[in-house]
Amino acid sequence: MIYRKKPSESPRFVAARPYQEAWLNRLLDGTAKQRAVKLYKKRKKWYFAVAITFSVEPRNEPNVMGVDLGLRYMAVASVGTKSLFFKGNPCAFIRRRYAALRRTLGKAKKLHMIRKIGHKESRWMKDVNHKISRQIVHFALANGVGVIRMEDLTGIRKRAASLKEAGRSLHSWAFHQLQTMMAYKAEMAGIRVEWVNPNYTSQTCRCGHREKANHNGILFQCQECGYTIHADLNGAINIAKAISGLSA
């Protein structure tokens, strides 16, 4: 239950959401154990947080899924012949709108408002990442996935050789947050997470030929064999295969 109270109002409780009820039921039936509890206030509302621990049985499913992150498509997941795409255009539009608003407020020297909309943008991005990560893990569960592989993007901002590549940075698209959410949701479902070296995953064809010219925008076309596919899907397939090896 979530407790809320406004000035001159009597205390009231808001009914728990279905996913909260599910965890409360696990506490009651003994499949989860209660740990620390905390009562805290956030944006004039009171919340009661309960930490829990529970055991997870690893899934012995044979399939491996690769997840590629990018700008035009925030995430592309691939397992076998099936794929799942999340377009980046809607998010890019909203982020540009926030950036324009910050510039306007900066000229007016309204620093407090800049901080305020920054927090608002962060909450919005976090909500988007939660929804995407949840759908990807559900997609994995529906397709017999035992392992999810993602690129190890640690330090990508320092490795970026150009401004275009730097656009895929953790800071620009909160990739680190999205990957973290996918990882813990997958592990809660018993799916193992592995990290792949990002080198050449976007340039390599299924025939083994690799060169930068293979990748042109959203199109991948091998200069050697002529194989054509969506570039981000090709990346997700190569990530699933871990063509560059697993990250240490």
> Tell me, what's the pLDDT at 174?
77
Q: What is the pLDDT of residues 158-197, one digit of tens each?
A: 444 443 443 444 445 578 899 999 999 999 999 999 999 9
pLDDT at res. 98: 82
pTM for the full predicted model: 0.81
Angle at 56 between CA 138 and CA 2, to 5 degrees: 70
Q: Which residues contact 190 (CB under 8 A, 6 or more apart)?
A: 56, 57, 58, 59
How many separate helices (H) and strands (E) can be counted in the chain?
Answer: 8, 12
% of the chain with per-residue pLDDT over 70: 86
Give percent of the chain with pLDDT exceeding 90: 53
Q: What is the DSSP letter of 204?
A: B
The structural domains of the chain, with segments of one domain joined by +, span 2-53, 63-201
- CB within 8 Å of 187: residues ≥ 6 apart: 56, 193
Task: Collect all residues with Cβ–Cβ distance below 8 Å to 197 and sequence separation of at least 6.
Answer: 151, 152, 244, 245, 246, 247
Residue 172 tokens read as 């620009």
Residue with tokens 């001159």: 8
Run of H or E including 59: none
At residue 5, the 3 state secondary structure works out as coil
In whole angstroms, give the CA distance from residue 181 to residue 44.
27
* pLDDT bucket at 88, cuts 50 / 70 / 90: confident
Q: Does 63-201 carry CATH code 3.30.420?
A: yes
Alpha-carbon distance of 61 to 135, in angstroms, equals: 18
d(CA 177, CA 170): 8
